[in-house]
Amino acid sequence: MTKTALITGSTSGIGLAIAKNFAAKGYQIIFNGLEPDGDKIAGNIAQQFGIKHHFSPCNLLYPDQIEKMVKETLDKFSHVDVLINNAGIQFVSPVQDFPLEKWNAIININLTAAFIVTKALWPAMQQNKFGRIINISSAHGLVASEFKSAYVASKHGLIGFTKTIALEGAPYNITANAICPGYVHTPIVENQINDQMKVHNMTREEVIEKIMLSKQAIKEFIPVETIALTAAFLATEEAACITGTSIPVEGGWLAQ
């Protein structure tokens, strides 16, 4: 049976690279994202690799939209083998100025949405006796940086959620793992450069050099393809005994 992967936030950045990698392997893909041309982006990849696909413009802030996306997915494909909870947002501010609505949006998109999608797909994965859940956390799921209270809390929370569902999934051949990227040059990072310039009163080059890449031993942005390869490996039959873990792909940031 052709394998199916649902990837949230897959019309940009890391999610898009993961989708391309899985499409090249022949997976059917459920794309999701808020990019205005998301439908076109998804259609182009599907055409390029000759795969079946579905695009959902579901806004992960809204549980009823998530349930609709999952229902459409199961109606069309009947099963989902791989779920990649990838969509995420960032906001940078000192804690005393951090707006509550930004905190809530980050927790809801980065953490709660992963729970809702997982919960909705869980019975189908249990029934299939197969599931690979891959949560895109961050190096900030393992360590903190100042001015990112909500993001760091959401990404640490996602690792705790990953461990819990790994335990619950083990009897059903459902694995759950987190990937913890360092800095990857995608739109989320481009926006952060602008925010950090204001918070730290620095130039663009100073933010990249002194705030971002200074933490990594390898002073380069991590290529999206490296994250996609890690996800593809975790989705394989051969990775069946890897579960509940967090894999840093962060250029040696955490080695110090």
Q: How far is CA 36 from CA 15, 39, 105, 132, 251, in A?
A: 16, 8, 20, 29, 32
Q: Which stretch binds ligand NAD (CB under 6 A): 31-39, 142-150, 229-237, 239-247?
A: 31-39
**Minimal distance, residue 22 CB to ligand NAD, in Å:** 15
Whether 183 sits among the annotated catalytic residues: the reply is: no
Is 9 a binding residue for ligand NAD by CB under 6 A? The answer is yes
**Minimal distance, residue 237 CB to ligand NAD, in Å:** 25
Choose, from 27, 62, 151, 172, the residue flagged as catalytic: 151
Q: Quick one: which of 25, 39, 49, 59 contacts ligand NAD (CB under 6 A)?
A: 59
Which amino acid belongs to residue 38? G
Is 106 a binding residue for ligand NAD by CB under 6 A? The answer is no
Is 226 a binding residue for ligand NAD by CB under 6 A? The answer is no
Is 89 a binding residue for ligand NAD by CB under 6 A? The answer is yes
Question: d(Cα 213, Cα 220) in Å, to the nearest integer?
Answer: 7
Nearer Cβ to ligand NAD (130/138) = 138
Nearer Cβ to ligand NAD (78/214) = 214
**Minimal distance, residue 241 CB to ligand NAD, in Å:** 25
Q: Does residue 196 contact residue 211 with C-beta atoms inside 8 Å?
A: yes
Q: Which H or E run includes 64? A: helix 63-77
**Minimal distance, residue 19 CB to ligand NAD, in Å:** 10
Is 187 a binding residue for ligand NAD by CB under 6 A? The answer is yes
Residue from 4, 8, 6 nearest 136 by CA = 8
Question: d(Cα 92, Cα 97) in Å, to the nearest integer?
Answer: 10
Structure tokens at 120: 């909705």
Q: Which stretch binds ligand NAD (CB under 6 A): 6-14, 44-52, 71-79, 232-240?
A: 6-14
**Minimal distance, residue 96 CB to ligand NAD, in Å:** 23
Q: Which residues of 127-142 are buried (b: 16+ CB within 10 A; e: fewer)?
A: ebebbbbbbbbbbbbb
| Bridge pairing between strands 174-181 and 246-249 | parallel
Dihedrals phi, psi of 182, to nearest 5 degrees? -80, -145
The set of catalytic residues is 151
Return residues touching ligand NAD (CB under 6 A): 9, 11-15, 32-35, 59-61, 86-89, 109-110, 136, 138, 181, 183-184, 186-189
